[in-house]
Structure 1
Amino acid sequence: MSIVIATIKYLLVGALLLLAAVFLVRAVQSMRGPDLQPWHRLAPPEPSADEIDAMNWTQWLKAEDAAFRFVETEVQAKLPAGQQVPQNRYWADAPLNPANLRQNWNRSFTLEPAGAPVGAVVLLHGLTDAPYSLRHVGDLYQKRGWVVIGIRMPGHGTVPAGLAKAKAEQWQAATRLAVREAMRRAPGKPLHIAGYSNGAALAMIHALDATQNPALGAPKQVVLLSPMIGLTRFARFAGLAGMPAIFPAFVNAAWLDIIPEYNPFKYNSFPVKAGAESHRVTVILGEKIEAARSSGRIGRLPPILTFQSAVDSTVSAPAVVDGLYAHLPANGSELVLFDINRAAYVGPFVRQSAKTALERMRPTGRHNYRLSIVANAAPGDPETVVRSYAPDATVPVEEPLGIPYRRDFFSLGHVALPFPLSDGLYGADPSPDDPQGVALGALATRGENGVLGISPAALARVSSNPFMPWVLGRIDQTLQAPQ
């Protein structure tokens, strides 16, 4: 017994020393980092989860208006002279200010079909993101006669300080509100939910809740892009990084990143609280999956169509298989994985772990879902194919895709999947008909140090998907199927 007690004491002392080390490192980092700006310190009002559950769509838009007025009067109107620069989205005259663009995609939006709706779809964006991220999916649904509800999640679209206050419960309530509005606009018609990243997790939480309470709005189809089923190991402990912020001298420790806000439809700065809340979302989802599995309710889930890059530095790609698809019933679900580009101009610099990432995600036993892999036709060949494994199949059916992998893309990734190459903000070949203030996806970061007002490293991550036409085609197939 004394050995056990001694061991516990040593473990406790070790844990305390580790916490002290984290505290010290983060405190030092916070004092060396850039100063917080008004958009890091001033959060607009947002309704609570209970208030959102009691709202209708009109009331939600009114509350959203109040949040954006706060940003205009308390942040933009009082911006220090030194921050009135073209690359600051919060300067009223900046080309990046969303108010100066054709549409402020930070706001909740609806798209109506030409005639009576044949169905309704709810679009749920990702963390730090805005409704902009799923607008191309929304366009498809609208063209096919569906009404589209794209809701802004609380804490998003305004200022990063808002995300430092937002909670997972508010995001779940906002999802329920959007579903209520979708059912109101298309009564008795099929309901779909499409989610990206954190929004994909919220889509699954709602679908699982609806297996227990169909009155919430049970979807006929769920579409997921880069779903946040699980996070990387660091994200699980992100909340510890904010510990020193309890002292005013170390307030910057409440932020993992403090970066200039040059993206009109996404935050660049990242508060510790957001990482902790996104981890909570994955925990909530995991518990709901297990409860539905153990009770048998998981058999009531609709088909799920998921698109996921085999390499993803934001979420855990293997968790999509192990945490979700391994538990699904035989209901017509499909998982689409995008392999790395084995014909890219990167020579021997690809890590071995990236080369084998796809293989580690293949099911080794029985599986109830279709697995489709988008990959090079052969190593060194930029032409691509789709290799599809039917449920339980070990031999794929291979079809040419007809879309070459760009040699300047060595992989896809988390942020790329919902955006075509022609996207005005994120596309590598932005359309001149889609101006979004800046073409971040097309900026070539080759030049001398110190020229750009932002870090060139921030522009290096791939942000558009050459296979997006095919992705939309696969989603379109679900719309053609009997509902």
Structure 2
Amino acid sequence: MPILPGAESFQADGGDVAVLLLHGFTGTPQSLRDWAEHHAAAGLTVRLPRLPGHGTTWQECNRTRWQDWYSCAERELLALARDHTVVVAGMSNGGALALRLAQEHPDEVAGLVLVNPAVLLEDPRLVALPVLRHLVPSLPGIADDIRKEGRHELAYDRTPLHALWSMTHLWRAVRGDLSRVTQPILLLRSAVDHVVPASSSAAVLAGVTSRDVREVVLPDSYHVATLDHDAPRVLEASLEHVRRVTAGAARDEVTA
């Protein structure tokens, strides 16, 4: 299946600290590419995979399930963790996948950076989704929720409903296990988000048991904050968080 131009994965090899970046549902690595390149330029090892079913066609995405996306992210994490201290970062559903990795692999995830993490929606149509997905294959897309003029998110123009239905099961699992998340968290939330409600971030913050948690509200961005006015703030705050939460691990390795 041909990959859309610009939707390719990104990787860079740097130091002993690594960041695994996970893009959102129906999106592509393009939405996080600036973030990845920024951290790579700072000397970090970076992995930004293209999740299965993404960056090709929405019909292919409809043939994937959340376990496929998670397995891809998990493989990247475990490969990195063999030789690196790893922080996992994600936007939207990528945030849900990051949280799941932290729940399932607490020793391999040193910290989390979450941008508008999606673990629930308030759309009443979700009630009908188990039936609706068998009647229509897709609904209009959710891409390009960006306040800044001239920026574009490379994503599907349709929302595949079988895949969406599966994603809600991921969210249910993540919400049920939020107390297992103990890692330091930086959560960046847009003040206005037309895709994921503020209650999703609130649920994350209320459910985790991490003692090191910082929430930053982004005043001038919509959902795709990594391509919006507040993108520089996201990148700098993320880099500071990564350096801070991995500094102790680096010192321990040197001492050992």
TM-score, with structure 1 as normaliser: 0.46
1:328–1:240 CA distance, 2 compared to 1 (3 A): same
Structure 1 residue 204: Cα displacement: 0.2
1:131–1:477 CA distance, 2 compared to 1 (3 A): same
Work out whether residues 189 and 218 of structure 2, in 8 Å CA contact, stay in contact via their aligned partners in 1: yes
Aligned alpha-carbon RMSD (Å): 2.2
Residue in 1 that maps onto 2:168: 279
Equivalent positions of 1:334-345 (< 5 A) are: 334-339=214-219
Which residue among 250, 267, 270 is the counterpart of 2:156? Answer: 267
Secondary structure at 2:7 match in 1: coil
Structure 1 residue 181: Cα displacement: 2.6
Q: Which has the higher contact order (CA 8 A, sep 6+)?
A: 2
Report the AA paired with residue 80 of structure 2: A
Residue in 1 that maps onto 2:109: 219
Work out whether residues 185 and 210 of structure 2, in 8 Å CA contact, stay in contact via their aligned partners in 1: no
1:414–1:183 CA distance, 2 compared to 1 (3 A): same
In structure 2, distance between residues paired with 1:129 and 1:155: 10
Equivalent positions of 1:2-151 (< 5 A) are: 67-68=1-2, 98=5, 105-113=6-14, 117-151=15-49
Residue in 2 that maps onto 1:197: 92
Report the AA paired with residue 472 of structure 1: L
Residue in 2 that maps onto 1:56: none
Higher Rg: 1
Residue in 2 that maps onto 1:471: 234
Work out whether residues 129 and 157 of structure 1, in 8 Å CA contact, stay in contact via their aligned partners in 2: yes
Work out whether residues 235 and 276 of structure 1, in 8 Å CA contact, stay in contact via their aligned partners in 2: no
Residue in 2 that maps onto 1:345: none
Count of residues paired in the alignment: 236
Report the AA paired with residue 110 of structure 1: Q
In structure 2, distance between residues paired with 1:108 and 1:288: 29
Structure 1 residue 255: Cα displacement: 1.6
Residue in 2 that maps onto 1:312: 193
1:332–1:235 CA distance, 2 compared to 1 (3 A): farther
In structure 2, distance between residues paired with 1:308 and 1:141: 20
Secondary structure at 1:192 match in 2: strand
Equivalent positions of 1:241-260 (< 5 A) are: 241-244=132-135, 253-257=136-140
Work out whether residues 118 and 146 of structure 1, in 8 Å CA contact, stay in contact via their aligned partners in 2: yes
Report the AA paired with residue 223 of structure 2: H
Report the AA paired with residue 155 of structure 2: K
Work out whether residues 192 and 220 of structure 1, in 8 Å CA contact, stay in contact via their aligned partners in 2: yes
Work out whether residues 111 and 183 of structure 2, in 8 Å CA contact, stay in contact via their aligned partners in 1: yes
Residue in 1 that maps onto 2:251: none
Residue in 1 that maps onto 2:149: none
Which residue among 204, 210, 222 is the counterpart of 1:324? Answer: 204
1:287–1:146 CA distance, 2 compared to 1 (3 A): same
Q: Which structure dedicates a bigger proportion of its chain to strand? A: 2
Secondary structure at 1:165 match in 2: coil
1:330–1:149 CA distance, 2 compared to 1 (3 A): closer
Q: Deviations over 1:70-108 (max 9, x none)?
A: x7xxxxxxxxxxxxxxxxxxxxxxxxx61xxxxxx3222
Residue in 1 that maps onto 2:254: none
Structure 1 residue 235: Cα displacement: 5.2
Report the AA paired with residue 226 of structure 2: P
Secondary structure at 1:206 match in 2: helix
Residue in 2 that maps onto 1:158: 56
Gap regions ≥5 residues in structure 2? 143-151, 249-256
Work out whether residues 232 and 313 of structure 1, in 8 Å CA contact, stay in contact via their aligned partners in 2: no
Residue in 2 that maps onto 1:23: none
Q: Deviations over 1:223-264 (max 9, x none)?
A: 0111102112335333432333xxxxxxxx2121389xxx78
Which residue among 214, 232, 237 is the counterpart of 2:122? Answer: 232
In structure 2, distance between residues paired with 1:118 and 1:242: 44
1:235–1:333 CA distance, 2 compared to 1 (3 A): farther
Residue in 2 that maps onto 1:414: 223
* 4+ aligned runs moved over 4 Å, structure 1: none
TM-score, with structure 2 as normaliser: 0.84
Structure 1 residue 167: Cα displacement: 0.2
In structure 2, distance between residues paired with 1:288 and 1:329: 10
